[in-house]
Amino acid sequence: MKLVVTSWNVNSIRMRLDHVTRFLTDQRPDVLCLQETKCPDDRFPSAAFKALGYHHMAINGQKGYHGVAVLSRLPFTSTNVMGFCDKNDSRHIAVTLGTGAKAAAGVTIHNFYVPAGGDIPDPALNPRFAHKLAFLDELMQWQDRAKPTASPSILLGDLNIAPYEADVWNHKALLNVVSHTPIETARLEEFRQTSGFVDAIRQLRPIPEKVFTWWSYRSPDWAAADKGRRLDHVWVAPALASSVTDSSISRETRGWERPSDHVPVSITLDL
DNA sequence: ATGTCTCTAGCATAGAGA
């Protein structure tokens, strides 16, 4: 069977409901993982997704900020939420697909929204950047404790870091810009390599191809200027790496009316 | 360099965060 999994930071699920239903109708991924839903759980627009065949949902939202959710056509056997940095932020939810998911049964998907980190790339001056770095440290501790790649797992989401030179429009211009500073790119790469996760997008689109998933709202000519960054990622455990047969960056959604600043990132697994 | 979008509080608009 083919399993299509998508990650999308929608910047408010209620403002973007028409975009999400359009994407689900057009692309029909099996699983859609959302970040920045900015929506309390009791106000999550579940009915619209159920009407499209996405009967299985896992939601970890809060009022105003952050928030993650998983919409799925395949059933879960379990869901799990982790907290980080002693905050109540909604930045993670995991689901494990159940036997009803056939060949995908047992696959765990971790959906993350890593802190953006503010503007000043100095943890001594900027508590938001300190929080981002501490979050990455806790991710490192988590992989050491939980060994997520020992099972068939996927880690995806808005990691708010563009780790490689080919992940930004201008490497040198962004070296001191939060999302591409050496301290955070090194920390993310150390986490990925130690955990063993494989960057599924880069496996299919190797460096030096430029790959972007985010374009700032402040760039009115975003498509022509193309000053993007790859902030959204899909990683797979080594046991799944050879099953990844395709990837898709749905850049067209950035051109829709009143878009998110992030676009959907998808992989196809042949299981 | 600080342009745009979305949220909350609270009722018009300012501040925070991304």
Buried b / exposed e across A140-160, counting CB within 10 Å, b at 16+?
bebbeeeebbeebbbbbbbbb
Strand B close to A11 by CB, under 7 A? yes
- Quote the pLDDT of residue A58: 98
Catalytic residues of A: 113, 158, 262
Side-chain half-sphere CA neighbours of A206 within 13 A: 0
Pick from A217, A235, A268, A56: nearest CA to A157: A235
- Quote the pLDDT of residue A220: 83
With respect to CATH, is domain A2-270 assigned 3.60.10.10? yes
- What tens digit of pLDDT does each residue of A210-264 get? 999 999 999 889 999 999 999 999 999 999 999 999 999 999 999 999 999 999 9
**Average pLDDT rounded to a whole number, residues A37-47:** 97
Strand B close to A231 by CB, under 7 A? no
Mean pLDDT of chain A: 97
Q: Are A10 and A24 in contact (CB under 8 A)?
A: no
Nearest CA to the C1' of B5 belongs to which residue? A217
- What tens digit of pLDDT does each residue of A149-198 get? 999 999 999 999 999 999 999 999 999 999 999 999 999 999 999 999 99
Query: What percent of chain A lies above the pLDDT cut of 90?
Result: 99
Angle at A251 between CA A23 and CA A222, to 5 degrees: 130
- What tens digit of pLDDT does each residue of A130-145 get? 999 999 999 999 999 9
- What tens digit of pLDDT does each residue of A79-110 get? 999 999 999 999 999 999 999 999 999 999 99
Q: Where are the domains of chain A?
A: 2-270
- Quote the pLDDT of residue A10: 98
Is pLDDT above 90 for A124? yes
Structure tokens at A255: 């051109």
Q: Are A90 and A61 in contact (CB under 8 A)?
A: yes
Strand B close to A65 by CB, under 7 A? yes
